[in-house]
Chain A
Amino acid sequence: MASHRCLLLKGVKSMSGINPVVGAKDVKPKKPKKQKSSALYKQEHRVAFLFVLAPVIGFLLFSVYPFAYSIYASFTDWNGLNRMNFIGFDNFVKLFQDPYFYQTLYNTVFYMIGIPIGLGLALLLAIALNRGLRGTTFFRTVYYIPVISSLAAISIMWAWAYNGDFGLVNQVLEIFGVQGPNWLENTSTVKPAIILMAVWKGLGYSMLLYLAAIQSVSKSFYEAADLDGANSFQKFLNITWPMVKPVTFFLVITNIIGGFQIFTEINIMTPTGGPEYSAASIVWYVWQKAFKYYQMGYGSAMSLILFIFIFIVTVIQFYLNRKSDYSLD
């Protein structure tokens, strides 16, 4: 902030220096004039500063302060109700011995299997919809509906669909003579069931971004490829895929960050974390600890670890992306 201010003031000085009215010989009248114009700029600067101040205060108050507070809380035995006692690294020591911490972390990472599946499907759909077939607009809307629907409503709906007795999924399976499991109550099916739902929910969003990316690829590339006799798979591999790579990168990052924070689906579809905690995600466990078991300090410690994880993963991704980055003029 300070350096920025200096730059502005410097600008003011040099501008008045250029002013031809101010003679080089006469030094005295130069001063008041210079002060006058810089007062105006100062004034303007002050106003600008106030405008900037509002979001800065908001950021400090609602992001930095809670973040710092949460870091401090992770070193205390705070129960969320009353005073906090500083207990050093106790929470973290306990955390790394907590089997449910690993279990929920594993579950959370497991859910991310859905990311490549979802992106692959989204890209396929986007390519299909880009062909200009009939009913494209209709399907675009259809695939986008889950995105704009409330996640809570969707979760309730899917929980019904997965119901072992009366669920739509098992009824459909029955037509093919398959006796479906009780999806959400079985340790081996609950995670795939939730992944399936998450993929379905996220498909429309990824598809739309891919569609936009594909449509912005210049036709001349494909024409050139046609002249060279490339088949459609080669065109996809060498033109479409590299051209939509930035979108893929963006989606992978946002999906991983979102994936680490998966909560609503879990909380609604498996309110107790699923049989033997097989569905519980890390954020769900944090919430459980902090708000249900009165261990806000422990919950804070866990979310701090989660933050570090997300941070590291994102840094790695940015690094990888920069390595594979290229530009096409």
Chain B
Amino acid sequence: MSGTGGRASGSPAATGQPGPLVPGPGATPQQRAAALASEWAPVAGRILLALVLAWFGYHELVRPALWTGYVPVVAPTSTAAVVAVLAHGWVLLMLAVALAAGIATRIAALLAAAVLLEIIISLTVTAGLSDLTMRDVGVLGLAVCLTGLSHQRLALRR
């Protein structure tokens, strides 16, 4: 893992991307807190979204039969449903690791957003809007936010 900070060479400033706020020596506590949040909040968001995806991905992979009820169109007891769940779980696991390690974060976040959108549409079509669906809308929002990351700490770049 490598982190970038400040305005040193290789920093976002050097690559023409907007970087984090760097409070000066006379910065107020609020400014320091804002700088800290802008620096680390995206990392927290990345890792927390990765945890969600990893949890679901792992469980879909090891116990696919418990998840086939969510697969639209096909019967829950069919082989096609099991295969769909396994493929879905594999994708979630890959996205989770990419997000947690900061590998192609924006692409991973974009794919995660697409997967979450598919889940939300599927659940809404199947059973309408509910608390479960709205919770997924919130997770989709987090994924969408991460697609805009231009500077990040704790990212595997090598």
Pair from one complex? no
Contact surface of B with A, Cβ cutoff 8 Å: none
